[in-house]
Structure formats: C-alpha cells, structure tokens
A and B are shown apart, each in its own frame.
Chain A
Amino acid sequence: EVQLVESGGGLVQPGGSLRLSCAASGFPFIHYWMYWVRQAPGKGLVWVAHINNDGTTTNYADSVQGRFTFSMDNAKNTVFLQMNSLSADDTAVYYCARGGHNHALDIWGQGTMVTVSS
C-alpha cells in the first residue's frame, strides 16, 4: 500500500525547534518530488517547502526560508523537515505529500500537529 506517515509534531515554546519526519511505503522517493504543506487551525492549505526527486534541490516559502530545512534519506524512504526559530504563526497541522502527475499532490500523510506556545 502506498502511504505516508508523519511524526514529530508537538508543543514547543516560541524560538524552539522541532524535526518532523515523513516515512513512505509502497513507492521509492527517488521517482517523486516531495512536499510539506501546512494548515493553520480553521484555515486553508499553504505550501511550505518541496524537494526534488534526487534531493539536490529544495524550495521554501518566504515565510520559512532560512528557518526550515527539508532533507531526505533515500535509504530509509523518509523525508524530514527541521524547523527552527518557531513562532506562533507556525502553529498548524503539517502534511507531507507526494508530487504525482504534473505535480498534483496525489498522496498525503495523515498530518502532524505543531503547536508553538509558551
């Protein structure tokens, strides 16, 4: 079965850090771009970052540029989002997703909640 499973969310104080993981099964990362998308409570979907299929290129939304780092471990079929200098504005459910045909996000994880609060 093709699926993505995120982990690593939780409660963190402003200025703190978290590392999210997304483990894939049923397909090899090497063939797909991978994405992180977040959704603040009661709000819409917002792209955070993506990485190309071989991990050589990453792109970030302006709001997280310089604070978040997207990486992958192809041997473990896992991608990571290292999040530093967190603020309340980063509070959201974070989804990882696979880029399929024409970059449509065709497989989504269940999401992991990140809450930034003192």
Chain B
Amino acid sequence: EVVLTQSPDTLSLSPGARANLSCRASQPIDTTPLAWLQQKSGQAPRLLIYGASRRANGIPDRFSGSGSGTDFILTISRLEPEDFAVYYCQYHSTSPVFGGGTKVEIK
C-alpha cells in the first residue's frame, strides 16, 4: 500500500509569500490519481488539484501542482489571508490514502 508523507508538518509564512508543500509517496505512483485538498478550521475539505496538476473548478491560479514518480509539490504563489489552512495530498489506488497534512500558518 502506498504511504504519503507530507512535509513540513507546519509552514509559517507571511501573506504574500510563496509556499511549497511536499508530498512524497513510498513508491512511484501514477500522477492521474494524485490530488490536493485544503481544509480550513471547522470546515470540510475542498478539492484544489487533481491529476497532480489540474486545478479544480473555481480554484485561483495562484495554486499549482507539480511532480511525478514519488515527489509532488503544491505551490501557492502568493499567500492570501484565506489560504492559511491545512493541506492534504490524496492518492487513489484501490482505495484513497491521505498524507498527514501540512498546516500553513501566519508568521
């Protein structure tokens, strides 16, 4: 079973900064079932990226996904106040598996 490891656990940045969040798979995976989700405090998760690099409907273009093999990155080009949240990567083989999450907090 694929295990997803996200790093760092917490990222402390200022509004306007660039954020790079890492998701590493325990073995090489196909990019098509790799997604990124955002979860704000007290809310349900929201899909940001699917297919490793495709933005979901209504997602601003400051969010981008990249990567292949075992290493995937979610980039937020310029952090807006509403972007401070927890981010999860998700992979689907026979069932979904989630990374442990990265919390992006205000520095």
Chain A positions near chain B (C-beta within 8 angstroms)? 35, 37, 44-47, 50, 59, 61, 95, 97, 99-111
Contacts and interface: CB of A to CB of B under 8 A. Distances in A.
Given A50-B96, A59-B94, A100-B50, A105 B35 contact: yes
A104 B33 contact: yes
12 contacts: A44-B98, A44-B101, A45-B39, A45-B45, A45-B90, A47-B96, A102-B35, A102-B51, A104-B56, A105-B90, A106-B50, A108-B45
B81 to A, nearest CB: 22
A89 B88 CA distance: 22
Interface of B: 32-33, 35, 37, 39, 44-47, 50-51, 54, 56, 88, 90, 92, 94-101
- Per DSSP, chain B at the interface is strand
Contacts of A108: 44-47
A105 B51 contact: no
- Per DSSP, chain A at the interface is strand
A41 B44 CA distance: 13
A106 B45 contact: no
Contacts of A107: 47
A61 B98 CA distance: 13
A105 B97 contact: no
B46 A35 contact: no
Nearest to B50: A104
Contacts of B32: 102
Contacts of A99: 92
B95 A104 contact: no
